[in-house]
Amino acid sequence: MRTVTTVFLSSTARDLTEYRDRVYAAISGLDDYKCIRMEDFGARARDAADFCRDKVRECDLLVGIVGHLYGSTPQGSEQSYTEIEYESAAPENRLMFLADEDLPPPAVVIAPESDDQRRRVQEFRGRVSKDAIRSSFRTPDELATRVLQAIQNWERSSPTRMVEALPALMRDPTVHDAVVGSRDKFDHAAEQIEKIAAFKSVHDALHQLEFNCLRMLINKSARFEANDPVFLAELEHYGNSLDEISKKLPSLVAGDAFAGQDMKWLVALESARTQLGGAVEQSDKKRLDDAIRHLNRVVAKLPQINSELIHAVRDLDLKQLLTILIRIREKLPSLKLDDELRRRFDHGVAGLEDLNEKLEALSDTHDRWQEVDCLLRLIEGARDDLVEQLKVNWSELQGLTDSLLSQHAEFAKLSRKLEDALAGQNDTAIRSAFLGYRSRAGTEFYGADVDLLKVCEELRLLEKPLQSVLEMR
């Protein structure tokens, strides 16, 4: 039986109806593909934004069409349905298509959007323009053609599709014996990917807590307005965000990945909810500050979670799994198997090889920035002796950053500036140059961290398909 791939079609409706219909027809015409649209579900009693997120996550792929209208937003949300759908899909499973800058909306769109909506759609288009898998369009036919091409390319490079094909291939005794004989390698890969998925989920929840709640509350505390109904309503909104995240975190840390770990920070999370609720009810700044203090304790877990996530990635060792899969691929031509399954497996192995290369390169870059960051923290800790410590450690610092300079032009520029300052023997100039160098190094380290986390998101997609392989005997 062939696997049906579900595609969620996302776009605004008023300006893109013709484009949307053309793409829907094109995807629906593909064998083994089913196109999903929100209008297919009718009215639902539950929260519209949550329902929207769930439907996107249930699908294998998101095709997003972005024009020049921001579109409608669910009640209580500042984000449009289209942007919520975009964020709900894994980055590697998003195929995004941007209307050309000079493409006007159709004449039937009469009512213009507000200045705020125009600003938001420009910001959203800016985000999408950075997407790795994206394209532009002018006509409905051009868009439909590019969507089909993108789907074909996505399918060819998807390791997930390859692992999904493996159970069907295992009906052949040769493939079955190859997999069963290497069950320990599959077990190890599944175990590590499960850990990666668990740590990544908690990492994302804490990151959301920091940016969507904690930072907003810190800002509100600095501008506290006692008994102001609008101010208190805004606090309540952030309290709702805190409640949403707090409800899902206990289930995220309930698995084996967090067994034996200290979970006192969950108590701090509940204390933050209580204090923030009191701050809203009593218009009490002290209780707001207490909530912020507790949330800071919770968010302080992020570095540890991130460290464990990176450790799980390093322990995965995709090379062992790839060795087995490549051996299976070499046997396929001599076996009587479905051509579609053979093709899917072959392309998936190639995609996994690419993913492994990316993982190794990003892990190496991350490790280098980690070493740089540790040494810079040591230098910073000297405080009054910072300049002397910098001079002592400069040679080692140069050795660590030498391979990074060619890929990071701004950091290379600041490195030369610091080197010149050290040569000039002016302590004030050295300190000033070090501040810029240190700040940029921190930015680059954060960027390396984000890039590696994106690959972790891709690895998470292998968890369920691998589990289905392990369930076979």
Give the separation between CA 190 and CA 186, rounded to whole angstroms: 6
Contacts of 414 (CB under 8 A, 6+ apart): 433, 436, 437, 440
From 49-53, 188-192, 220-224, the region with the lowest mean pLDDT: 49-53
Strands 61-66 and 33-36: unpaired
Write down the pLDDT at residue 35: 93
Highest average pLDDT, of 3-7, 50-54, 428-432, comes from: 428-432
Looking at this protein, which amino acid is placed at residue 445?
F
Residue 404, SS3 per DSSP? coil
Residue 134, SS3 per DSSP? strand
Alpha helical stretches, state H, 300-385? 302-316, 318-331, 339-381
Nearest to 121 by CA among 92, 156, 79, 160: 79
Do residues 228 and 286 make contact, with C-beta atoms less than 8 angstroms apart? Answer: no
Write down the pLDDT at residue 401: 94
Contacts of 36 (CB under 8 A, 6+ apart): 6, 7, 8, 9, 55, 59
**Mean pLDDT of all residues in 182-205:** 86
Percent of the chain residues topping a pLDDT of 90: 27
312-324 burial string, b = 16+ CB within 10 Å, else e?
Answer: bbeebebeebbeb
Question: Considering Cα of 457, then 461, then 464, then 470, what sign does the dihedral take?
Answer: negative
Residue 97, SS3 per DSSP? strand
pLDDT digits (tens, 9 = 90+) for 397-450: 999 999 999 888 899 999 999 999 999 999 999 999 999 999 899 888 888 887
Contacts of 446 (CB under 8 A, 6+ apart): none
pLDDT digits (tens, 9 = 90+) for 332-365: 888 777 776 777 777 778 778 888 888 888 888 8
Give the separation between CA 3 and CA 155, rounded to whole angstroms: 12
